[in-house]
Amino acid sequence: MRRLFHTQATEMALLAVTALICFFLATSTDRFFTLGNAFDLLNISSVNIIFAVGLLVVLIAGGIDISFAVAASVVQYVTALILAQIGGGSWVSGILIAGSIGILLGAFNAFLIHKFRIISIVVTIATFNIYFGLLMFFTRGVSIYDLPDWWTERVILFEREMADGTWAEIRLPVLVMALCVAATWFLIRHTTIGRQLYAFGDNPDGARRFGVNIGAMQFIAFGWLGLMAGIAGLIQAHYAQEVVPNALYGRELDVLAAVVLGGARLGGGRGSVFGCVLGVLLISIVQNGLNLMGVSPYAFQMIIGAIILLAITLSNSSIEKLIPFLRTDGRKQS
Amino acid sequence: MTTLVARTRRMLGPEMAGPVLAFLAVMLIFGTSSPQFLSRATFGSVAFQLPELGLLTLAMLLPILTGGLNLAVTFTANIAGLVVAWVLQANGGVDAGPAAFALGALLALAAGAASGIVMGLVIAYTRAHPILVSLSMMIFLRGLGEFLTRGGDVSGFPTFIRQLGHGSILGIPAPLLVFILCVGLWHLLLSRTKLGFNTYMIGSNIEAAHYSGVNTRKVLVLVYTLSGIMCAVAGIIMMARFNSVRIGHGESYLLITVLACFLGGVNPFGGFGRVIPVFVALVVLQLLSSGLNLLGANQHLATAVWGMLLVAVMILRWIAGQFGYLVGKRE
């Protein structure tokens, strides 16, 4: 138990804070602690969690990616165009197309990073502008509302009527999110590749000397994020029932904040799927709670920003005091 | 003569190669493909557009030199602009006098400095990653601005504000004058002062800087404070240019400022990089945008080309590195 607290201090602290906030919201509002609200939270957070677990893999491998959200927009748009060309398609073809384009865009980042030894933040800021600029240029900002029926139709996996007549439902995005979370967890915790990703992120030189294939690591990490971004793009369009070219613009920084709040370290080698999911959920819960408490929606972002800033300050300063020489240098390959 | 060449070369530095090559390429390509490109109008529009992005890039530059990043630049600028706008409105709106503007500008600089001080303190004292600290500051400031303005515009300023955004002094646009003044200040700061030297020290190796007696915490706090103040200057210029303040103005510049720094040869890990190459890189970016505009493309294509230019410069640098490696081996 002590070991658990020691190795997963951030996750445990996050869990405690989340539990505290949930307890507070459950007692102070009557809507929060209902099945319907819990399911709503899951439905709303699904896309961000899919993004987050993808980004987590890149962060563990010591990289950073700014371009994934606009890559997902590109995937949405191109997938919609291809599906219109082939006359509709289905979930299988949709996931295949979106996944492949996502992997391709991620692999392009990995190629630039690995082949030309450019660090990931420079590459992904460049590709962010390339992807988004080209998308807006070719689409002229025009949205697509005419999507195939299977794509926009709500799929309800579980539903139950509540006492007050509302329906609590779990929809398709939650299932996809669960699959993505499970797959990522399996990849980084239970495969050799996962161990190598951690080793590579923690100490690239050391990993290379142990025979880890550096190029493969980059392609796996960014390819995985690309795959997740592709799936998230598909699911986001499903959820919103439309494809808007700049709908996901700006999402990358919010997801990044959530993932790092969940214990992943910019600089590599640390982070867990559990913490990452908790990070996204915590932000959603705070947002949801503020909403239920009747706080003006304009104040949400301000409060969330302040909470993240406070969380970083507290978590870093306490660790610093406990083990002063542990965190010598956070910047290896950010 | 040789000393002159050596001095010029030292002054230009190795970072200069990328931006200058890009500059020449842009001039050559657009100069031949579009007859209007090499005209007064093009350079006039560049001169008016450059300062907004340029001032924000200066604000981004200092933190990057210390190995950090300030993702809050655009929203710090917005908040500072908001402060000026309110002071002007409280003092009669359209009829406000220069004194009210001076007070507003001072308070705006203070607001920018405050945002920088908070980030600097957190980064310096908790060693939290600057990306994360400035990111949460960005989210906070964006929320604060949206909360205070309800997502709307604040406008209605006296006419002399328009002069600051659109007027010219001796044929040089007023915003450009402010920008060039700031470039000069930053250049002096980095090349002539102890703070500048310490900034490079910290960016190269913060531990070594600490052990050699640099008060790293103080320097970091100062760097982020100065960055915040430069954001405020950008915010005031942006307010004058758009003749309104809205949270989200210039949001698309955020990553472009980082791009401009890298294009200007600043090392992403910190420690290396100078102001003048960054300035040239900014001019290149704006010329590209104007040139594409003349050819009938829109701003979005320009954004994409900016990204491609960054990749191209990085690849060229890699090729040059490979070449240098081969040459070095032979000797």
- Say if strands A167-171 and B172-173 run parallel, antiparallel, or are unpaired: unpaired
φ, ψ dihedrals at A332, nearest 5°? -110, -60
Chain A residues in contact with B256 (beta carbon < 8 A): 129
pLDDT digits (tens, 9 = 90+) for B66-115: 988 888 899 999 999 999 888 888 887 777 778 888 888 899 999 999 99
Q: Is A121 on the interface with B (CB under 8 A)?
A: yes
For A328, the token pair is: 């010598």
Chain B residues in contact with A250 (beta carbon < 8 A): 251
CB contact under 8 A, B255 and A66: yes
CB-nearest partner of A118 from B126, B301, B314: B314
Residue ranges in chain A whose pLDDT is less than 70: 1-8, 163, 165, 316-334
Give exposure, B139-167, as e/b (b: 16+ Cβ within 10 Å).
bbbbbbbbbbbeeeebeebbeebeebbee
Q: What is the pLDDT of residue A334?
A: 35
CB contact under 8 A, A132 and B133: no
- In 3D space, the residue among B112, A207, B196, A12 whose CA is nearest the CA of residue A4 turns out to be A12
Q: What is the pLDDT of residue B14?
A: 63
Q: Give the residue from chain B lying closest to A257, CA to CA.
A: B132
CB contact under 8 A, B304 and A313: no
Q: What is the pLDDT of residue A329?
A: 45
Q: Which residue has the higher pLDDT, B168 or A76?
A: A76
φ, ψ dihedrals at B221, nearest 5°? -60, -45
CB contact under 8 A, B303 and A129: yes
Q: Give the residue from chain B lying closest to A300, CA to CA.
A: B143
CB contact under 8 A, A125 and B302: no
CA–CA min distance B175, chain A (Å): 26
CB contact under 8 A, B140 and A123: no
Q: What is the pLDDT of residue A250?
A: 81
Calculate the alpha carbon distances from B11 to A188, B15, B25, B144, B264 in Å.
49, 10, 22, 43, 15
CB-nearest partner of A266 from B132, B144, B262: B132
CB contact under 8 A, A116 and B318: yes
For B273, the token pair is: 């990089």
Chain A residues in contact with B253 (beta carbon < 8 A): none
CB contact under 8 A, A298 and B143: yes
Q: What is the pLDDT of residue A48?
A: 93
Q: Give the residue from chain B lying closest to A328, CA to CA.
A: B207
Chain A residues in contact with B311 (beta carbon < 8 A): 112, 118, 123, 126-127, 130
CB contact under 8 A, B129 and A122: no
Q: Is A129 on the interface with B (CB under 8 A)?
A: yes
Q: What is the pLDDT of residue A322?
A: 44
CB contact under 8 A, B311 and A66: no
CA–CA min distance B35, chain A (Å): 24
Q: What is the pLDDT of residue B1?
A: 55
CA–CA min distance A123, chain B (Å): 7
Q: Number of Cβ pairs closer than 8 Å across A and B?
A: 166
Q: Which residue has the higher pLDDT, A1 or B189?
A: B189
φ, ψ dihedrals at B113, nearest 5°? -60, -40
Rounded Cα distance between A44 and A42, Å, is 5
Range among A263-267, B34-38, B51-55 rated most confident: B51-55
Q: Is A320 on the interface with B (CB under 8 A)?
A: yes
pLDDT digits (tens, 9 = 90+) for B196-220: 888 888 888 888 888 888 888 888 9
- The answer, yes or no, to whether residue B162 has pLDDT greater than 50, is yes
Q: Is A142 on the interface with B (CB under 8 A)?
A: no
pLDDT digits (tens, 9 = 90+) for A289-329: 888 888 888 888 888 888 888 877 777 665 444 444 444 44
CB contact under 8 A, B150 and A298: yes
Chain B residues in contact with A331 (beta carbon < 8 A): 67, 129, 269
Average pLDDT score over residue span B228-244: 89
**3-state class of B168 per DSSP?**
strand
For B109, the token pair is: 């600089």
Q: Give the residue from chain A lying closest to B247, CA to CA.
A: A298
- The answer, yes or no, to whether residue B314 has pLDDT greater than 70, is yes
Rounded Cα distance between A334 and B201, Å, is 19
- The answer, yes or no, to whether residue B144 has pLDDT greater than 80, is yes
Chain B residues in contact with A127 (beta carbon < 8 A): 307, 311
- In 3D space, the residue among B128, B137, B122, B118 whose CA is nearest the CA of residue A316 turns out to be B128
Q: What is the pLDDT of residue B113?
A: 93
pLDDT digits (tens, 9 = 90+) for A183-225: 999 998 888 888 888 988 888 888 888 888 888 889 999 999 9
ipTM: 0.82
Q: What is the pLDDT of residue B199?
A: 87
